[in-house]
Amino acid sequence: MSGVVVFGAGGRAGRAITAEARARGHRVTAVVRDPGKYAGLATDDGVRLVRGDVTDAAGIAGLVRGHGSVVHAVSPFSGPEQGFAGLDPLFYVKAADALIRGLPEAGVSRLLVVGLFANLKTAGGHPVLDDPEAFPQEIRPFAAAHTAGLDRLRTHGGAVDWLMLTPPARLEAGGTRTGGYRTGGDDVPESPAAHLSYADLAVALVDEHERPTLHRTRVSVFN
């Protein structure tokens, strides 16, 4: 079956996606900045652990050639405690530019991106990140950087068949895999109880690798 490249394979989403893809028989190229920190990812014969940078277009082309889909699950921000001194506000723009350039060079068209709840729209039509009552303003710089990357895909990603799947605010690291999920549009899910496990986020992403149904758009995904 066709292979999947997972950028950010060492993170929570990346690990879940790698595990889901392998469980379905797909080979996975797991891309991380420092393979020495993630040796455990390569214990499965179907996982190839490599060094790579999602902002390096030339390197991307070499890594993804021969695969069916590429997943971008990289996050340069682990939480407020990290601070923002080292956060590049253009990180997600650079990643989008590199993927938009690198995938076509390698003959790969499908790009699957893990989205961020903060740029879904509220009932008033404004992004969550613009509402100080709904979103912690101390982490707004990260949300703004992610939103800039989404805008880049929307305006310049036409040559790539991209899809961003955006989980709700309640994204559960220890949640179980139900195998079920729902997709919405560009808005926050109406149900205040909307949630999703990383495992089911991975199910949704691998489903779109196997049977693409959504194209060049961003949608919410929730349980």
What pLDDT sits at residue 79? 60
What pLDDT sits at residue 82? 58
What pLDDT sits at residue 108? 97
How far, in Å, CA of 165 to CA of 181, rounded?
11
* Secondary structure (DSSP) of the chain: ---EEEETTTSHHHHHHHHHHHHTT--EEEEES-GGG-GGGGGSTTEEEEE--TT-HHHHHHHHTT-SEEEE---S---GGG-STT--TTHHHHHHHHHHHHHHHHT--EEEEE--GGGSB-TTSSBGGG-TTTS-GGGHHHHHHHHHHHHHHHHH-TTSEEEEEE--S-EETT----S--EE--SB--S-TT--EEHHHHHHHHHHHHHS----SEEEEEE-
How far, in Å, CA of 118 to CA of 4, rounded?
27
What pLDDT sits at residue 205? 98
pLDDT tens-place string over residues 104-140: 999 999 999 999 999 999 988 999 999 998 898 888 9
pLDDT tens-place string over residues 77-107: 766 665 666 789 999 999 999 999 999 999 9
Residues spanned by the domain of 76: 4-222
Please give the model's pTM, rounded to 2 decimal places: 0.95
What pLDDT sits at residue 76? 85
- Which parts of the chain have pLDDT scores under 50? none
What pLDDT sits at residue 84? 61
In angstroms and rounded to an integer, the radius of gyration of the C-alpha atoms of the chain is 16
Indicate the number of domains in the chain.
1
CATH number at residue 173: 3.40.50.720
What pLDDT sits at residue 206? 98
